[in-house]
Chains A and B, each alone.
Chain A
Amino acid sequence: MAETLSVSIWRGGAEGAFRAYQVPHRASQTVLDVVTWVQRNLEPTLSYRFACRVGMCGSCAMTVNGRPRWTCRSHVSAVAPDLRLEIAPLRNLPVIKDLACDMTGFFEKWQRAEGRFKGGLSRRDPVERILPDAPQRRAADAAIQCINCGVCNAACDVVAWNPDYLGPAALNRAWSLQNDGRDRARVERLRAVATAAGCHACHSQQGCALHCPKHLNPTASIAGLKAASFKAVFKGEL
């Protein structure tokens, strides 16, 4: 294909500017391919993150033509039919350089939301039986496929307004653990997320659900947490 893409890529940190590049268009080309081509051929100092290139690791998310996307599985033909691409770092995270964001705060929020499994059994106990079609297991299924890419966090206006807000990714993770029958930290986790900077801050705008590349619905998970916290107040757990 002889066509050329007009690409502008963010260069610099929080203070910086877009720089324009011409990149050859190829069949089945992804946005990540474009960034890689620019780094190998035009701009060796261009910083960006990727690892698996097949939509599993969650490290290559960027803002593509104004929308947060996983770049390794976003085809140029689908996201830039007019052959113009503007590629910027993810929103709502501090920019380190070029397209690389500092994810520290994002993952700290997972910890603040008690986003880790806390079991009650030791290796001497028999393995707990979880029936695949139990309602709780199915509810966990709906939220479990998150790859931590940060796209939902970038799509969320509440995160932009309130930097303390735990955000859709951490709350979605918390909800999948609330539905894990083997977990023993249900009340503790609910205390961590049922705050004004936690699930109660969500406006149900569903930007997260619209942009999640895995088609998860963090808004639904957050609604689950809201309902659980409502019940927990009457049980005296909160």
Chain B
Amino acid sequence: MAGGPRLYVAQRLSALVLAPLVLVHLALILYAVQDGLSAEEILARTRGSLFWMLFYGLFVLAAALHASIGLRNIVAELTPWRGRSLGLAMHLFGLLLLLLGFRAVAAVTL
């Protein structure tokens, strides 16, 4: 079976980090679309902002960790796929989320 106590702790802690970040992210969406949505407005807010870089950087890190561990549990529970190959596939999935996420953060903040 996949998983262990460390993965369990990592998933719970990443959820703890994600909860407030998701709330701020949703509030930000509501705020940002008030006068219509434009790339200029978003980039004006995020370009060169260390705060948003750290905020979404942490968001990506927590989401990649949380999603890859969670997906591993779901797959192990609902399909016969378990063991090392599933662990490896979920490492790759987490890495993919991390790369795509950091790429997006870099694109709007640098």
Contact = CB atoms under 8 A, between A and B. Distances in A.
Given A161-B77, A162-B77, A230 B4 contact: no
A194 B8 contact: yes
B73 interface: yes
B76 interface: yes
A194 B4 CA distance: 7
Contact of B8 (A164, A197, A229): A229
B12 interface: yes
Contacts, number: 42
Interface string B36-50: 000000000000000
A195 interface: yes
A233 B3 CA distance: 14
Contacts of A161: 77-78
A199 to B, nearest CB: 9
Nearest to B8: A200
Interface residues of A, number: 17
Contacts of A226: 8
Contacts of B8: 194, 196, 200, 226, 229-230, 233
B1 A194 contact: no
Given A161-B77, A161-B78, A162-B77, A195 B12 contact: no
Contacts of B6: 233, 238
A196 B12 contact: no
Contact of B5 (A162, A197, A201, A238): A238
Contacts of A234: 9
B12 A230 contact: yes
A223 interface: no
Given A230-B9, A230-B12, A233-B9, A195 B77 contact: no
Interface string A191-205: 000111100110000
B78 A232 contact: no
A232 B4 CA distance: 12
A197 to B, nearest CB: 4
A36 B5 CA distance: 47
Contacts of B77: 158, 161-162, 201
Interface in A222-236: 226, 229-230, 232-234
Nearest to B78: A161
B76 A196 contact: yes
Contacts of A195: 1, 3-5
- A-B residue pairs, 5 tightest by C-beta: A196-B3, A197-B1, A238-B5, A194-B5, A196-B1
Interface of B: 1-9, 12, 73, 76-78
Given A233-B6, A238-B6, 9 more contacts: A162-B77, A194-B4, A195-B1, A195-B4, A196-B76, A201-B77, A230-B9, A233-B9, A238-B5
